[in-house]
Structure 1
Amino acid sequence: MADKQFKKKIGDALGNNVLRGALGRFGDAYTTAREKAYEGYDFKAISENIERVKSYAASHLDEMLDQFEREATTRGAKVYRATTGEDAKQYILELAKSQSVKRVVKSKSMASEEILLNKTLLAEGMDVQETDLGEWIVQLAGQHPSHMVLPAIHMTKEEVADTFTNHLNRLNEPEISELVKTARVELRKKFLEADMGISGANIAVAETGTLIMMTNEGNARLTATLPPVHVYLVGIEKIVPKFEDAGHIIQALPKSATGQKITSYVSMVTGQTPAYYPDGTVKDKEFHIILMDNGRRKMYEDEKFKKTFQCIRCASCLNVCPAFQLVGGHVYGHIYTGGIGTILTNFLNSEKDAQNPQNLCLQCGKCSEVCPGKLDIPEMILEIRNRMGEKQGLPFTQKFALDVVSNRRLFHSLLRTASIAQKPFSKGQPVIRHLPMFLSGLTEKKSLPTVAKVPFRDVFKTIKQDVKKRKGTIALYAGCLIDFVYPKIGEGMIVALNEKGYEVVFPDGQSCCGAPATYMGDRKNARKCAIMNIEALEAEKVDYVVTACPTCTHALIDSFQELLQDDPALVARAEELSRKSRDFSKLLFDLGGLKIGGDGEPLKVTYHDSCHLKRKRGVSAEPRKLLSDTLGVQLIEMNESDRCCGFAGSYSIKFPELSGPIMERKLGNIEATGADAVVVDCPGCLMQISGGLDKRNPGIKVIHTAELLLEKRKKAPKKNKK
Structure 2
Amino acid sequence: MTEQFKQSIEQALHNPNLTGALGRFSEAYVISRAKAYEGIDFEGLRSRIAEIKGGAAERLEELAQQFQREAEARGAKVFRTSSPQAVKEYILNLAREKGVKLVVKSKSMASEEIHLNPYLEQAGLTVKETDLGEWIIQLAGQKPSHMVMPAIHMTKEEVADLFSKEVQERLTSDIPRLVKVARQELRQYFLAADMGISGANIAVAETGTLVLVTNEGNARLVTTLPRIHVAIVGLEKLVPSFTDIAPILQALPRSATGQLLTSYVSMITGSTPNPDGSGKELHIILMDNRRSEMARDPKFKEALQCIRCASCLNVCPVYRLVGGHVFGHVYAGGIGTILTAWFDELKKSEEIQGLCIMCGRCREVCPGKIDIPELIVEIRRRLVKEEGQSLTQKAIFSGVLSNRRLFHSLLRAASLAQKPFARGGFIRHLPLFFSGLAEFRSLPTIAETPLRDRVKQIKQTPAREKAVFYAGCLIDFAYPQMGEAVIKVLNKAGIEVVFPEGQTCCGAPARYNGAFEVAAQNAVDNLKALLSTEASYVVSACPTCTAALKHEFISTLETQGRQEWLSRARELAAKTVDFSSLVKKLVDEGRLTLLEGETLEKVTYHDSCHLKRTLKVWQQPRELLQKAGYQLAEMFEADMCCGMGGSYSLKFPEISAPILQRKLQNIKNTGATTVAMDCPGCVMQIAGGFDKQGEGIRVKHTAELLAEKLK
What's the TM-score once normalised by structure 2's chain length? 0.97
In structure 2, the residue matched to 1:385 is 380
1:634 to 624, 631, 634: 631
Q: CA deviation at 1:129?
A: 0.5
Q: Counterpart in 2 of 1:521? A: 514
- 1:542-561 alignment to 2 at 5 Å? 542-561=535-554
| Equivalent in the alignment of 2:607 | 609
Counterpart CA distance in 2 for 1:42 and 1:212 is 24
Contact 1:390 1:523 in 2 (8 A): no
Question: Match of 1:366?
Answer: 361
Letter in 1 for 2:358: Q
Letter in 2 for 1:394: Q
- Counterpart for residue 207 of structure 2: 208
Note the C-alpha offset of 1:381.
Answer: 0.4
Contact 2:381 2:516 in 1 (8 A): yes
CA–CA distance in structure 1, aligned partners of residues 325 and 274 of structure 2:
39
Question: Which residue in 1 is equivalent to 2:279?
Answer: 284
Q: Deviations over 1:654-701 (max 9, x none)?
A: 000000000111111100111110001000001000001112252110
- 5 Å-filtered alignment, 1:325-474, equals 325-402=320-397, 403-427=399-423, 429-466=424-461, 470-474=463-467
Give the letter for the 2:357 counterpart. Answer: L
Task: Give the Cα–Cα distance (whole angstroms) in 2 for the partners of residues 287 and 318 of structure 1.
Answer: 33
**Cα distance in 1 for residues equivalent to 2:709 and 2:433:** 41
How far apart, CA to CA, are the structure 1 residues paired with 2:517 and 2:209?
Answer: 48
Output the amino acid matched with 1:84.
S
Residue of structure 1 in register with 2:501 after alignment: 508
Q: Report the Cα offset of residue 626 of structure 1.
A: 1.2
What secondary structure is seen at the aligned counterpart in 1 of 2:604?
strand
Contact 2:146/2:310 (8 A) holds in 1: yes
Task: Specify the alignment match of 1:65 in structure 2.
Answer: 64
CA contact (8 A) 2:489 2:710 kept: no
Q: What amino acid sits opposite 1:416 in the alignment?
A: R
Question: Deviation string for 1:137-190 (max 9, x for gaps)?
Answer: 000100110000000001000000111112222212111111100010011110
For 2:197, what is the secondary structure of its paired residue?
strand
Helix, strand or coil: the match of 1:321?
coil
Residue 706 of structure 1: aligned partner: 703
Give the Cα–Cα distance (whole angstroms) in 2 for the partners of residues 547 and 44 of structure 1. 28
Distance in 1, Cα, partners of 2:143 & 2:563: 49
Per the alignment, in what secondary structure is the counterpart of residue 287 of structure 1?
A: strand
Kept after mapping to 1: 8 A contact 2:468/2:533:
no
1:689 equivalent in structure 2: 686
Distance 1:167 1:303 in 2: 49
- State the Cα deviation string for residues 304-355 of structure 1 (Å, max 9, x = none): 1111111100000000000000000001351100000000000001112111
Where 1:289 maps in the other structure, the secondary structure is strand
Query: Who is 2:220 aligned against?
Result: 221
SS at match of 2:159: helix
Partner AA of 1:424 in structure 2: P
User: Would the aligned equivalents of 2:486 and 2:579 in 1 still touch at CA under 8 Å?
Assistant: yes
CA contact (8 A) 2:70 2:207 kept: yes
Letter in 2 for 1:406: S
C-alpha distance in structure 1 between counterparts of 2:597 and 2:499, whole Å: 29
**2:5 corresponds to 1:12:** no
Q: Which amino acid aligns with 2:156?
A: K
Runs of 5+ unmatched residues, structure 2: none
Give the aligned partner of residue 668 of structure 1. 665
Instruction: Give the gaps of 5 or more residues in structure 1.
Output: 715-722
| Structure 1 residues 225 and 350: CA distance shift in structure 2, 3 A | same
Distance 1:562 1:539, change over 3 A: farther
Q: 1:520 to 1:143 in 2, by over 3 A?
A: same
Judge conservation of contact 1:426–1:450 (CA < 8 Å) in 2: yes
Verify: 1:596 aligned to 2:600, yes or no.
no
Q: Which amino acid aligns with 1:503?
A: E
Q: Distance in 1 between matches of 2:94 and 2:130?
A: 21
The one-letter amino acid paired with 1:83 is S
* Conserved? CA contact 2:401–2:505, under 8 Å: yes
Counterpart of 2:699 in structure 1: which amino acid?
Answer: V
Render the CA deviation track for 1:165-224: whole Å, top value 9, x for unaligned: 122222121111111000100111101100100000001111111101111111110001
Is the 8 Å Cα contact of residues 465 and 495 (structure 1) preserved in structure 2? no
Once the two structures are TM-superposed, the CA of residue 370 in structure 1 deviates from its matched residue by: 0.7
Deviations 1:617-672 (A, max 9, x none): 0001111111111x111111111110000000000000000000001111111001
Correspondences of 1:176-191 after superposition (within 5 Å): 176-191=175-190
Distance 1:433-1:90 versus aligned 2 partners, 3 A rule: same
CA distance in 2, matches of 1:269, 1:158: 37
Number of residue pairs matched?
Answer: 705
d(CA) in 1 for partners of 2:505, 2:250 = 45
In structure 1, how many angstroms separate the alpha carbons of the residues matched to 2:392 and 2:129?
A: 47
* Distance in 1 between residues matched to 2:251 and 2:269, nearest whole Å: 22
Which residue matches 2:243? Answer: 244
Conservation of the 8 A alpha-carbon contact between 2:103 and 2:197: yes
Q: Distance in 1 between matches of 2:107 and 2:58?
A: 28
Structure 2 contact 106–129 (Cα < 8 Å) conserved: yes
Matches within 5 A, 1:644-655: 644-655=641-652
**Inter-partner Cα distance in structure 1 for 2:533 and 2:420:** 45
Give the whole-Å Cα distance in 2 for the aligned partners of 1:587 and 1:552. Answer: 15
Q: Cα offset for 1:569?
A: 2.3
Q: Secondary structure at the match of 1:272?
A: coil
- Counterpart selection for 1:318 from 298, 303, 313: 313
Measure, in 1, the Cα distance between the counterparts of 2:166 and 2:639: 44
Separation in 2 of the partners of 1:580 and 1:276? 69
Give SS of 1:524's match.
helix
Checking the alignment, whether the CA contact within 8 Å between 1:599 and 1:712 is kept in structure 2 is: no
For the aligned residue pairs, the C-alpha RMSD in angstroms reads 1.4
Percent identical among aligned pairs is 58
1:599 CA drift (Å): 9.7
C-alpha deviation, 1:539, in angstroms: 5.7
Q: How far off its partner does 1:437 sit?
A: 2.5
Cα distance 1:598–1:712, how it changes in 2: closer, same or farther (>3 A)?
A: farther
Q: Is the 8 A contact 1:477 1:545 kept in 2?
A: yes
2:599–2:629 Cα contact (<8 Å) kept: no
**Residue of 562, 568, 578 corresponding to 2:555:** 562
Give yes or no for contact 1:539–1:545 (8 Å, CA) kept in 2. no
Report the residue type matching 2:696 in the other structure: G
Instruction: Write the distance in 2 (CA, Å) between the matches of 1:346 and 1:53.
Output: 24
Q: Which amino acid aligns with 2:227?
A: P
2:124 equivalent in structure 1: 125
TM-score in terms of structure 1 length: 0.96
Paired with 2:411 and 2:92, the residues of 1 have a C-alpha distance of 64
Q: Offset of 1:433 from its aligned partner?
A: 1.0
1:533 aligns with 2:529: no
- Name the aligned partner's letter for residue 629 of structure 2: G
Tell me, in whole angstroms, the C-alpha distance in 2 between the residues paired with 1:373 and 1:409: 44
Q: CA deviation at 1:84?
A: 1.5
Q: Shift of residue 500 of structure 1?
A: 2.1
* C-alpha distance in 1 between matches for 2:141 and 2:321: 22
Secondary structure (helix, strand or coil) at the match of 1:419 reads helix
